[in-house]
Amino acid sequence: MDAHEPAFLEIVLDSAEFTFDGRYEIENPLHEALTAAGIGEVTGGGGMGKSNIDVEVSDLQAGLALVRRVLGGLKVAASTVIYAQQGDQAKGTGQVTTYRVYEQL
């Protein structure tokens, strides 16, 4: 996985540990931070049992660092997971890496 290439991030939060009134309380600060930095945007989300937020970033390393900083500042649950996908899954050239919000890199 090339740390400075574009990536799709899926942030997955366990609904049982969700302490926010709605996903928008996470999506809005994330979107604002990503667009202000010029490195990405929130592109969607959903959930049943788990809440997910979809993010596209132009640089995986910078985008992941910013997303983790925002999520940590919001004090999301430690069980929150970030899946980073690069490449084309349909062509077999894709790769997915799993990150935790609070783990050390």
Which two three-digit tokens encode residue 61? 């390393």
Residues of the chain with pLDDT under 50: none
**What's residue 38's pLDDT?**
97
Q: What is the pTM of this model?
A: 0.87
How far apart CA 62 and CA 79 sit, in angstroms, is: 22
**What's residue 105's pLDDT?**
55
**Phi and psi torsions of 22, nearest 5°:** -170, 160
- The crossing angle, in degrees rounded to 10, of helices 24-37 and 60-73 is 140
| Residue with tokens 């132009």, as numbered in its chain | 58
**What's residue 103's pLDDT?**
81
The domain segmentation of the chain, as residue ranges, is: 7-100
Pick the CATH number of 7-100 from 3.30.70, 3.30.390, 3.40.190, 3.40.50: 3.30.70
**What's residue 1's pLDDT?**
54
